Every structure is written in C-alpha cells, then in structure tokens.
Chains A and B, each alone.
Chain A
Amino acid sequence: MPDMDEFLEMFFVECDELLDSLATGLRAMEAPDHEKETVHSVFRAVHSMKGAAAAFGLSDLVTFAHRFETVLDLLRSDKLTADEEVMTVLHRSSDLLTDLVTAARQSSAADPVRLEELLGDLDRLIGDEGDDAEDDALAMEFTPLTLDFSPLAGEPAITTYKIVMMPDPEMYRTGNDPAALIHALSQLGDATVTLNATNVPKLSVWSQDDTRLSWEIKLATTAPVTDIHQIFEFVVDCCQLDIHELSDVVAQPAPADSLAEPELPAPGEPVSDLAPSDVEATSKAATPVEAGASKAGQTTGQAATIRVSLDRVDKLMNMIGELVIKEAMLYQVIETAGFTEDPDVVTALEGIRQLAGDIQESVMSIRAQPLKLVFQRMHRILREAADATGKKVRLDTLGENTEVDKTMIERLIDPLTHMIRNSIDHGLEDAVTRQRRGKPQEGTITLSAAHRSGRVQIEVSDDGGGIDRERVRRIAEERGLIPQGATLSSNEIDSLLFLPGFSSKDEVSALSGRGVGLDVVRREIMALGGRVMIQSKEGEGTTFSIALPLTLAVLEGMLIQLRDQTMVLPITAVQETLRPTSATLHGIGKNGRVLSNRGELIPIIDLACSFGLRDAPAPLDDGVLIVVETDSHKRAALHVDGIFDQRQVVIKSLEENYGRVPGVSAATILGDGKIALIIDPEEIVLSSLSEQGRSAMAFAANG
C-alpha cells in the first residue's frame, strides 16, 4: 500500500486545481449574465475538496468547506442572489479555503479569528435564506472521519459507478472486444449491464464504419476508480467513455465517498466531482449514447496528460543544452577539417542544427506554463490591498494564457504582488480625488502579458494620478540619494523609485510596512534576466513593464572578441553595431570619447579595459562599436575588437560554479570547448558611468 504521504500529496495537488477552478468560477459569477453551470462548477469544486479533506481528518477544512458549500447550494437553487455583498463573502471564503489548504499542507493552523469571522458571515447568508434545521442535519452527517489506511481498516464501503461505453469502429478494427472489457469489470464487483441498441439501423443501411451500440454498466465495487480506468486504458482513444460515481442520496456523507476510494482519483477525472443533482440531470436529459458522446472529448483529453516531476524535465533541458554545445563543437571540427564546402555535410549539419533547435523548443514548451497561475493569485492580493487601503479597485487581466518558463512563474509572484500593492497604495488616488478629477470612483489596475519579439512582456498599469515627479525628487534629495539640484530627466526621476530605501509614502501604511521595496522587485526581475521600465503620465496613470526572456536556459548572443578572449553579449541589449568614422567621434576632456549617434552623444566604453585585458583604451580605428541600451534608457557604445557570430548559447551559472563576477551575468561553453563569459551590459554601462563622476545615478538605476 502506498505511503499515506503520497495520498496526501495527491490530495493537495488536486486541491490546487480545484481552488483554481473555484477562483475562476467565482470571478465568472460576477458577470451579470453568467451561466448556471458556473455556479454548479464552483459548488462541485468545494464539494470535492470537502469530501477529500474529510478522508484526511482535516476538520477545519471540512467544517468550513461545508458551510461554504451550503451557501453555494442556496445560490444554485436560486434561494440566494449573488449580489455584491454575497460575492465579497464568497471571494473571501475562497481565499480562506486556500489558506486552510496551505495550512494543512504545512501542518499548521490557519488564522482562527478569520475563520470564525467568515463562518459567521456565511452563517448569516445561510440564516437569511436557508433552512437552518436542514443545515444542522447536514452538518451532523458531515462530521469528519479519520481514516486508517492500514490494510486492517475494516470493510471498505461499496461505491456504485455508472460506466457508459460507446465503441468507435476503430475499437472493433483493433480487435478489442466489449465482452472482454465487461468481463473484466464484472471481476471488480457486481455489474449490471444494459445494452442500448436503439440506434442500430436495419441491415440494408447498416455500416460497420458507423457503430451505434453502447453499453451502460452499473458497477458496485470496493475497488478504487483507478482500477476501472485501468481496464479501459487501451481503448480510451477508440471508444467514447464516461465513468462517474452514482450517489443517489442527495446528502450522502462525503466521508463515505472518500472511503470508497482511498486512492484519490487522478485530478481532472470526472469521478467524484459530479454532484448528485448533475447525475440525475445527465440520466434524465440524455440517452446513454448521447451522454457518452458528450463526454467523450473530455475523457480522451484527460487520458492524454501525465504528471512528470520537474527534476526530469530539468535534466532533459540540461541535456539539450549539452546537445547544443556538442552540435557547435561538431561544426567547429568539420570547419577545421575543411569540409564546410561539401553540400552534403552542410545539409546534414543544418539538419542536426534544426533538430536540436526543435527539441529545445519542445522541451521549453513542456516547461512553459500559462501566467494565469500567477495572475489568479493577484486577484486575491488586490482584494486584500483594496481592503487595507479602503480604495475600490478592479483588476483586469489580459493575456493570461501567455506562457513562460515554470521557474519564472514561481519567481514572478513576489515582484508582481509588490507591484500590485504599490499601484493600489501609491498609484491610485482616493475616491474623493478621483471624483474631483472626473474619473470613476473605482480604480482599475490592468495586468497584461504578451509575447513580444522573443520576450515576454508583463505590464501592471493603473489609472491613477501618475508619478508626482516633483515629490519624488524632493524625497530623494531629502534622503541624500541625489545631490541637491541635480539635473535629472523624467526617466531618471522615475527610476529613483527603484532606489533601496526609497519610500514616497510619508507614513508607513499597512501595505508598505512589509519591508519590500521596488528595489527588490527590480533585483528579482534582473535576476530572471529581465528588465523593468516605468511609464507615467501625470493625471492618467502609471505603467510598470517587465520584459522577461522566454527561458533561463539559453540566450541569443553576439560572440565578440576582446584581445584573445571570446565573450558573449546578449542580443537583447544590442541596438546597433557600427564602424566608427572620425566624423562621428568626439573627444571630451582628457581621455573621454563620445560617439555622435542618432542625434545623441553617447559615451564609448572600451570593454577590454573594463575587464582588465588592456591597460589603456585602444585606438578606435580598428574594432567595432556596439551600441547598447540599459533599462534606464542610458545608451553607451561598447568598443570591441571584433564580432564573430550571432548564435544561441547555453547559460551556465557562474554563481553556482564559481562566484559572482561584476559585469558578467553567466558563462557558456563554446564549440571549441572553451568557456566564454556572458557580459551584463547593464552593469558595465552603469559602472562606467559612475567612474565618470555620476555615482549617484548609477546607484539609482542599479538598485
């Protein structure tokens, strides 16, 4: 028998999915013309969680889920209307349910005060509309039950499943026999078979390519539902199948349900999450054939997913990285041997390169997850922040299905949380000011995501007052972050917000007293290889944009030469490359050199000097200039000895293997087996500017 922990882990994984659909459903319910099915799905999510929680003796969770479910049931039966007040309670309940699950996961207890408070709120809703006596009776039945998972746990309860099977012609063609399947089912328990032949036509119009027979099997068994699925494992894709649990008593105690299936169903399988009334509806509304048909797509879809541990995917990703390196090495060897002119070799090599690229992309798509997972959480953050500040705020999300690497999903939560809080706390004006400015009382925060030229762009924008640049400047001066009266552009003032210790709020509010500043947001985003930018328009609002790479594993880079070293410059920072002419070069001061480029004078940085490969800047007539731009829109021209190539390189962390090196973000292995450092242009430019006596600004933008 598998470990108890394993069951519990499965339960939590399932809970995550249920909580997710719960939150989505609740938001859909806010729409005035939402479908009744939405309420049903929300109800089912809570119901399923309650049932499973009872099996693990999580009494807080069960008690709360039950009360929550009762309210949902009232909504379902139109005894209660989902007005704003009710929805607020429902949202909070959903949040608390998440907390309770988290608490159970960490074997701790959720906030008892909040639990009591919400139980009270729910009770009030039930008390207003529902039948208290009935509720009490239900509550009695739902007393949580602790399960003993040892084999001596006594007689397991019998569960009845209704299985509707409608074979496709493909199933007969492959020699799969319904009789054998039914026989296997009857080995599990007591099976009652009903054949539905009503749709079979007369022989003259009959065709074996259009199968019409379907079977409905009622199976009373003590076996877990997974055993049933196992029987159909080989025919799921050539047979329309619908398996669900029959519970004919409306108030059947959930613990009993769970007893019958100690092995929790794999999440997503339509097993125990069908509420009794839905079972009735299905059997009344449709013949078994139709019911089977309607669920068919769903069943096949579920069978097509597997759970794989992240370790394995990471390992695969690493190996792909090695493959890319080996491919580069192979190319180098072939080049050295002088075969690059041979069209066969070139074609074969190109094929391998293409394939390696495709594999890499596929693995990346395995790791990719929709940002929805992060965005979902922000609704709650927003609600809490809105409560804390007393502002009315709405969150609009766009592009939730944009996918990014799984690692990024996890690491985006904190920065986005802070940005949302920041937008509500500092960005949005209070209701009175908004009214005076002719804006709707309710503020809007828009969270959007999109793929943009090989990067993921996430934006948090508010329709608030915009950045008060005068005030930001004053505060920065007061705190000694910038010299008094320094000349700063609007962009430079905006980036002061990212300074450590900068807080524009005069008094520390409940939200901002958390010790996290925008500087942490910036550092975290930069650690992900991303950039943060601010755009603000006075009176109209502020937009924070985050641009992230699609993956943390590979990078499109420019291979450059610095003396005898090869280094990699991330292509995202590069604006243009050019050979300097005397007309575009100007000297400033003793050693200063600037490039006149597109109507702007930009400093020239000798990269070989920055890395200590050369003592004095080389003459500019040989070599190439690469114009780069930083987050704070600072531009600089990097002087390098030459450009080799542009290619994808596999990122190998330096910090993990060696230590942090200023101006270098990571390393990679080249085709010839040599290690090349990946340059962090941001750091190079800013540290170089600070040498030129602008340390304060570098500090400001660097965080």
Chain B
Amino acid sequence: MPELKLPEVLDQRGAQIVATQLLDRLGEEMDLDACNLTRLGGAGLEMLIAAHRQWQEDCIRFEITNLSPSILRVLELLGVDPQTLRVEVQK
C-alpha cells in the first residue's frame, strides 16, 4: 500500500514539503498517515483539500488515516468533515 507519513506540523512550511512529495506521486493510490500529525494549520488544510481535489479528479483512491482526536477536534473547529477528504473508488 503506497503510504506517505505526514509530518508533525503541517503549517505553511510543512504543507509545501508534503505538496512536493505528493506531486511526485501523482496517479498513485494514496494513504496519508497522520499518526504523527499534532498541528494542522490553515495552509496545511488548504494543501490537503487541494490534494484531495487532485486525486478526486484523477479518480484515484485517497485517504488520510490515523487522525488523532486532537486533530479531529481542530478539523471540527475549522468546519471540516474528515469524511469529505476521502476519495473512494469503486473497483
């Protein structure tokens, strides 16, 4: 399973790094492992949404896994339903 570990901090700098890594793997099924993620900033969220949009357009599976309760709380504050950041592809 292709997997990418998200860094601890997904602020503007973190987002840029992850974006570059993701762009290298365009067209691959993607599991973003968020087990280390402790801080999600606005730029990080925007990057994740952009990535989701990309994978959705390409019709390739995209999922963020292992979201910690504190990150889930942040997503809730920001008005994001984690389910909307998934792309499921019917095989």
Contact = CB atoms under 8 A, between A and B. Distances in A.
A203 B79 contact: no
Interface string B28-58: 0000000000001111011101110110010
In this complex, the interface size class of chain A, counting residues with CB under 8 Å from chain B, is 20 to 34
B4 interface: no
B80 A204 contact: no
Contact of A213 (B11, B19, B45, B51): B45
Contacts of B46: 197, 200, 206, 208, 211-213
Given A179-B78, A186-B77, A193-B78, A201 B43 contact: no
Nearest to A176: B42
A178 B11 CA distance: 11
Contacts of B57: 202
A215 interface: yes
Interface stretch (A166-174, A241-249, A484-492, A658-666): A166-174
Given A203-B54, A204-B54, A208-B47, A172 B42 contact: yes
Given A167-B42, A171-B42, A172-B42, A193 B47 contact: no
Nearest to A175: B11
A177 interface: yes
Most chain B CB atoms below 10 A, which of A171, A186, A195, A215: A195
A204 B47 CA distance: 10
A203 B42 contact: no
Nearest to A197: B49
Interface string A208-228: 100111010000000000000
A275 interface: no
Contact of A201 (B42, B53, B74): B53
Given A200-B49, A200-B53, A202-B50, A178 B78 contact: yes
A380 B18 CA distance: 66
B53 A178 contact: no
A175 B42 CA distance: 9
A183 interface: yes
Contacts of B22: 203
B26 interface: yes
A177 B38 CA distance: 14
B6 interface: no
Most chain A CB atoms below 10 A, which of B42, B45, B54: B42
B12 A173 contact: yes
B53 A202 contact: yes
B12 A195 contact: no
B41 A177 contact: yes
Contact of A172 (B11, B23, B78, B79): B11
B42 A213 contact: yes
B66 interface: no
A183 B54 contact: no
A201 B50 contact: yes
**Dominant secondary structure at the B interface:** helix
B77 A203 contact: no
A195 B50 contact: no
Interface string B62-91: 000000000000100111100000000000
A212 B50 CA distance: 10
A197 B22 CA distance: 20
A178 B78 CA distance: 7
B12 A203 contact: no
A213 B47 CA distance: 10
B83 to A, nearest CB: 14
Contacts of B51: 203
Contacts of A208: 12, 15-16, 19, 43, 46-47
A202 B54 contact: yes
B29 to A, nearest CB: 15
A194 interface: yes
Nearest to B57: A202
Contacts of A553: none
Contact of A203 (B19, B40, B41, B74): B19
A627 B89 CA distance: 96
Contacts of A204: 23, 26, 54
A173 B43 CA distance: 9
Given A179-B40, A202-B53, A204-B26, A193 B79 contact: yes
A119 interface: no
A362 to B, nearest CB: 37
Nearest to A211: B46
A234 to B, nearest CB: 15
A211 B42 contact: yes
Contacts of A178: 41-42, 78
A182 interface: yes
B74 A179 contact: yes
A518 B57 CA distance: 81
Given A177-B41, A206-B19, A213-B42, A200 B80 contact: no
A490 to B, nearest CB: 75
A167 B44 CA distance: 13
Contact of B53 (A171, A175, A182, A203): A203
A182 B77 contact: yes
Contacts of A179: 40-42, 74, 77-78
A172 B53 contact: no
10 contacts: A172-B41, A178-B42, A179-B78, A182-B77, A195-B79, A200-B53, A208-B46, A211-B42, A213-B42, A213-B45
Q: Which 6 residue pairs across A and B have the least CB separation, nearest first?
A: A193-B79, A206-B50, A195-B79, A203-B54, A202-B54, A172-B43
Given A177-B42, A178-B78, A186-B77, 14 more contacts: A167-B42, A169-B43, A172-B41, A172-B43, A177-B41, A179-B40, A179-B74, A193-B78, A195-B78, A197-B46, A200-B49, A204-B26, A206-B47, A213-B45
